[in-house]
Homo-oligomer: A and B are copies of this chain.
């Protein structure tokens, strides 16, 4: 049996870290006797340059034919002033929709060794370990109409959801909570939005199906506060697309190790897409100094969620933790102690541990 993996390097440091993930997967392949086949496709800025679209059909088809997708990152100043349909992030939004990747899972967990890099005081951040489950294919991102009106003197966007779209993400969140500390916080703005009221109703309805999970509701503004004042209180947070975009980025900087945070975007019965929580970082691209850890940990999530290779996923996570604990780190973690290494050195250290 062989797993087909579509590689979407994208732009900036995406083109560097993706090959770190590939190296690590090849080490896993050898050690555990698993077969991985890799095929690379263009997305984002590089696709705009080569194919005049951020998401070529060949990329969509390649991803659909694969068992899972690894994505580096998209975007860069070169394409910042392009018209909307020729912007790198359109490729990202497009592939999410094309593969129906409705569930974005973003774990945020600090490495004990790296907590000194957190902007939060150690007593606030210590012990935090949360998972944000963000709805990824609905809401304001894809609702129509989204247009100018009245000769350009007015504008509307539409936040729309179907009951079924909310149900599947809420189910995913409950199930994720069952595998963790069994606490679910649903975040909405039910005191203002009709969509949030339906969201809250559905969470309430679903409760009885997951009696082992404790549920509470939090308004999005209160959630933005509590993530900072008391991040430890959270286990799983579930929320709609735009709130999830904001809260997951907010949460990603709490531990001080954005360069270590993976993500998974999952479809109902199909392929999953795995990418680092960080972006393409044009300022450090091409220098060989990017932190490959988030990408490597995203590959571990792929092994776990798409291939059910739990032992192999754990092996990667253990290797990363061991290397971090030995004090090795890339330049993003301005440590005063420990050894500063490059992207390829960090990758090799992790490979060696496996």
By a beta-carbon cutoff of 8 Å, the part of chain A in contact with chain B is: 84, 87, 89, 93, 118-121, 124, 140-141, 143, 146-148, 150, 152-164, 189, 191-195, 197-198, 220-222, 224-225, 227-229, 242-243, 245-250, 252-254, 258
Contacts and interface: CB of A to CB of B under 8 A. Distances in A.
A37 B254 CA distance: 47
Contacts of A120: 119-121, 228
Nearest to A258: B225
B198 A157 contact: no
Given A154-B161, A160-B155, A221 B198 contact: no
A307 to B, nearest CB: 30
Contacts of A124: 119
B229 A249 contact: no
A1 to B, nearest CB: 39
A116 to B, nearest CB: 10
Contact of A157 (B194, B222, B247, B248): B194
A195 B229 contact: no
B198 A155 contact: yes
Nearest to A92: B191
Given A152-B163, A154-B162, A221-B246, 15 more contacts: A89-B192, A120-B120, A120-B121, A147-B194, A152-B198, A153-B164, A155-B160, A156-B159, A157-B193, A220-B246, A221-B249, A224-B224, A224-B249, A225-B250, A229-B253
A93 to B, nearest CB: 7
A97 to B, nearest CB: 12
A225 to B, nearest CB: 5
Contact of A224 (B118, B121, B222, B246): B246
B164 A160 contact: no
A158 B89 CA distance: 23
A243 B221 CA distance: 9
A88 to B, nearest CB: 9
B193 A140 contact: yes
A140 B192 contact: yes
A254 B228 contact: yes
Contacts of A148: 194, 198
Contact of A225 (B121, B164, B194, B253): B253
A245 B220 contact: yes
Nearest to A157: B159
Contacts of A163: 152-154
A222 B193 CA distance: 24
A128 to B, nearest CB: 12
Contact of A245 (B119, B221, B245): B221
A163 B155 CA distance: 8
Contacts of A252: 225
B160 A194 contact: no
Contacts of A197: 84, 155
Contacts of A253: 225, 228-229
A120 to B, nearest CB: 6
